[in-house]
Amino acid sequence: MPESEHADDRSRSAVIGIVGDYSPSYSTHRMTIDALGHVPSPLPFEWVPTATLKEDVSERLSRYAGLLIAPGSPYVSMDGALRAIRFARERRVPLTGT
């Protein structure tokens, strides 16, 4: 799964979690990566596969400063995507989706 080239520089900036199941065949996924590359200050991000979001997602998601629910459903785990949304809502983590 692609990560931004700046994803290892976590000490200087926040990391955004993109919740979704990356596939290079989805143009929306490729465009998401491209769009994040146009942010004036590089924005580190990581894809978070929905199947990795089991019952307690706090350990998996608490490291992210914000979450983006990726376009291009169906997700491998719709429950995982919904758990991420609930996590953000209940903990006041910035969240956006399409």
> Domains of the chain by range and CATH?
16-97 (3.40.50.11410)
Entry field: residues in the chain: 98
* Structure confidence at residue 60 (pLDDT): 94
Q: Is the pTM of this model over 0.75?
A: yes
How far from the centroid of its chain's Cα atoms is residue 30's Cα?
A: 14
Closest CA to 15 of 60, 45, 39: 45
* Structure confidence at residue 40 (pLDDT): 80
Q: Report mean pLDDT in 10-residue bins for the chain, 98 residues.
A: 46 80 90 85 89 93 95 89 96 92
* Structure confidence at residue 11 (pLDDT): 42
* Structure confidence at residue 73 (pLDDT): 72
> What secondary structure letter does DSSP report for 3?
B
Facing residues of 95 across strands? 67
